[in-house]
A and B are shown apart, each in its own frame.
Chain A
Amino acid sequence: MPEQALPQQALPQRALPRHALSHLDALESEAVHIFREVAGEFERPVILFSGGKDSIVMLHLALKAFAPAPVPFSLLHVDTGHNFPEVLEYRDHVVAAHGLRLHVASVQDYIDRGVLRERPDGTRNPLQTVPLTEKIQAERFDAVFGGGRRDEEKARAKERVFSLRDEFSQWDPRRQRPELWNLYNGRHAAGEHVRVFPLSNWTELDVWQYIAREGIELPEIYFAHEREVFQRAGMWLTAGEWGGPKDGETIEKRQVRYRTVGDMSCTGAVDSDAVTLDQVIAEIAASRLTERGATRADDKMSEAAMEDRKREGYF
């Protein structure tokens, strides 16, 4: 049989309806709707802002949602003490440029006070939960925006857009509220709060395509650059005061970029020549590794690492 006899060849090309929104416009409209719901329903919302691409896109959407007025939320950065300097610089620049208020919850403070103990592996990502949840309680934040996407990880795939947390900030995936249509239920008792994920339906590629379309500025570490790195557990880590390299690990200069921004001790770089947004997008579209699989050591600790951290109050 000739190939064109197959049924898939016979399908007509579908045309989009005249007024259908493009994929990115639909995602943008949905995210803005979520920001405005929170503004309408909550007293003290805050946006978790790490200086990573997802939180940068969140802030961009929030600016659009309330234009021409300023964003009616403050920002919260959970500072591990092991930050990429370029990212801190970016954070402070953005906060100043938009006249925003920044809260910082510092892991280093907790270690200095003896409340948290440094882990033997030097990784501080899991240590963020306590400073985060205590800051939420202390500032009485009732809605906390996170940049989490459901495509990132299989525990995150289970997350609602509005996710109720108890007074201990805990997530109980078996007792989540059903979430129907776009009727988000944010009711909560005093002391409880709601985590809100406006980028739930975005994929990594959507985020990058949106950044390109909107011309959003990013920290330089997202683009390929020469960097002193060493290899650990199959990832390229940046040398630094946080405890790397150890004996037997050697520093070399490589052309790399980052796919995610997190704690330096567990966020790996990937070999890359992508120096423009278009090149980054082409690289991600062709990648056979997920964002977290490629660059996050903390997610590899166990089969349920993310779920366990989320239950404790992690974002």
Chain B
Amino acid sequence: MTSTTVDTLRFATAGSVDDGKSTLVGRLLHDSKSVLTDQLEAVERVSQSRGQDTPDLALLTDGLRAEREQGITIDVAYRYFATARRRFILADTPGHVQYTRNMVTGASTAELAIILVDARNGVVEQTRRHAAIAALLRVPHIVLAVNKMDLVGYEEKEFERIVEDFAGHAAELDLPGFTPIPVSALAGDNVVDRSTRMDWYECPALLRHLESVPVGGDRSGEPARFPVQYVIRHAEIRYYAGQLVSGSLRVGDRVTVHPSGETSAITGIDVLGEDAREAYAPQSLTLRLADQRDVSRGDMITTGADVPSLTRDVRAAVCHLADRPLRVGDRVLVRHTTRTVKAIVKDLAGAAELSANDLGRITLRTAEPLALDDYADSRRTGAFILVDPADGATLTAGMVDLEEAGSHA
């Protein structure tokens, strides 16, 4: 199977402790024949030395000493596997409340999230939290995997009860929809192969669903957004290097540089060493412009009339990630595309502070204007992080809400 005809799905898993998430991932890798002999032998060796008679598939993914000792997943692990239909990048994220920030990490680049529940416990607080994060980060596809069906007698009514409960929460969260699948990760039901023990379930097994869900690969039709990463000077020519986030660019296009508002025209496009007439997202490229403009890292180049909002008042939904709380009045750095600016936290929707793993709303006042899109329109130019200016720690994940701001035309 060659690389050119197969696309890639990035997906993330989320589940509470002991929902069997590591076992599900292990089963997915094992039954899709993505585990190689030496990896399986290592798992068998360790399982045996612990007195287990069957290999513990969770050991395939729990890669850290502390994870194996405690039997929990602490940090995101990325897995790579492929079937004949598709390549997969799996962000295997922890379920424990204190590691919620790592689910946010995994979900930020995911096009699909699997939210796992234990069929015996149904929807619990962590399930609702995971659904809320998936909704906030606008993960396009959600799977509700109802696991441990073997422990509830493979009963349809148990599954239906949980699906109904989750649907109620999903509606409140504005989740676009979800696909429920009854599974047993331990026994292998409906993970890679359809289960014969749940005849009442007529849809595809999990892997088949992952193979067939549409991925939005083409952003070339959207408005062009080109954050300048780096200026290359060579033989007295300036090349503006960056990765085209969305849209396409052509030689001759009129461009606007934000925040200065200066305009120019594209005289040359170079796609990694090759001269090109046009380029499209997400290519990395360099641009040459007709006029000697003061363009540097952090600037945003756009074409056409659909331009980002230029503002110093940023309103956004946030997930606070750091252990130290975020308070009104805090001085922070905002990192948006390639630009970093100083800012003050003006408001937290009435709250005095946000603690680790809290979801909330924020208003920031920045020292310089940012060229923002709504996160609903772009998961790249509508996203930012807050950074602690003292020690550089990543504090908060932000998703721009322009509608909330209202006043920006």
Contacts and interface: CB of A to CB of B under 8 A. Distances in A.
Contacts of B242: 33, 36
A8 interface: yes
A177 interface: yes
Contacts of B42: 293, 303
Contact of A33 (B89, B243, B270, B336): B243
A158 B64 contact: yes
A287 B35 CA distance: 11
Contacts of B235: 68
Contact of B78 (A64, A157, A189): A157
Contacts of B217: 16-17, 20-21
Interface string A167-210: 00000011011111111010111000000000011010010010
Contacts of A66: 232, 241
B248 A23 contact: no
B80 A288 contact: no
Nearest to B207: A8
A151 B80 contact: yes
A267 to B, nearest CB: 16
Contacts of A294: 38
A127 B248 CA distance: 49
Contacts of B280: 19
Leading 4 A-B pairs by shortest Cβ distance: A187-B392, A17-B218, A293-B38, A154-B63
A20 B335 CA distance: 28
Nearest to B242: A36
Contacts of B64: 155, 158, 173-174, 304, 307
B188 to A, nearest CB: 17
Contacts of B335: 183, 185
Given A19-B220, A158-B64, A33 B36 contact: no
B63 A7 contact: no
A109 interface: no
Nearest to B87: A23
B245 to A, nearest CB: 9
A67 B272 contact: yes
B38 A181 contact: no
Interface in B173-206: 194, 203-204
Interface string B318-345: 0001000000000000011110000000
A18 interface: yes
Nearest to B213: A14
Given A18-B218, A33-B243, A289-B36, A69 B234 contact: yes
B318 to A, nearest CB: 11
A19 B7 contact: no
A293 B38 CA distance: 6
Which of A40, A200, A209 is packed against the most chain B CB atoms within 10 Å? Answer: A40
A252 B392 CA distance: 56
Contacts of B284: 28-30, 32-33, 36, 65
A290 interface: yes
B384 A209 contact: no
A288 B36 contact: yes
Interface of B: 1-8, 36-39, 42, 46, 60-66, 68, 74-80, 87, 89, 101-102, 104-105, 108-109, 194, 203-204, 208, 211-212, 214, 217-218, 220, 229-230, 232-235, 239, 241-243, 248, 270, 272-273, 280-284, 297, 321, 335-338, 379-380, 383-385, 387, 391-394, 397
A131 B138 CA distance: 46
Interface hub of A11, A14, A304, A308 (most chain B Cβ within 10 A): A14
B232 A26 contact: no
A171 B97 CA distance: 23
Contact of A23 (B8, B75, B234): B8
A303 B229 CA distance: 41
A32 B273 CA distance: 12
Contacts of A68: 232, 234-235, 239
B63 A158 contact: yes
A188 B335 CA distance: 15
A180 B383 contact: yes
A39 B230 contact: yes
A200 B383 CA distance: 22
A197 B34 CA distance: 23
A124 interface: no
A275 interface: no
Q: Is the interface of A mostly helix, strand, loop or mixed?
A: loop
B272 A183 contact: no
B39 A307 contact: no
B394 A178 contact: yes
A154 B62 CA distance: 8
A153 B130 CA distance: 28
Given A64-B273, A65-B284, A158-B77, A178 B220 contact: no
Nearest to A24: B3
A206 B243 CA distance: 21
A69 to B, nearest CB: 4
Interface string A145-172: 0000011011101100000100000000
A209 to B, nearest CB: 6
Contacts of A209: 2-3
A308 B63 CA distance: 11
B334 to A, nearest CB: 10
A86 interface: no
A126 to B, nearest CB: 17
A22 interface: yes
Contact of A150 (B46, B80, B392): B80
A118 interface: no
Nearest to A209: B3
Given A17-B217, A68-B232, A173-B74, 13 more contacts: A7-B194, A14-B212, A25-B283, A64-B272, A66-B232, A154-B60, A158-B77, A178-B105, A181-B383, A287-B36, A289-B36, A293-B37, A304-B65
A40 B282 contact: no
A14 B68 contact: no
A273 interface: no
B3 A181 contact: no
A20 B394 contact: no
Contacts of B101: 178
A14 B214 CA distance: 8
Given A178-B101, A178-B105, A178-B397, A19 B384 contact: no
Contact of B229 (A20, A40, A293, A308): A40
Contacts of B397: 178, 180
A185 B64 CA distance: 23
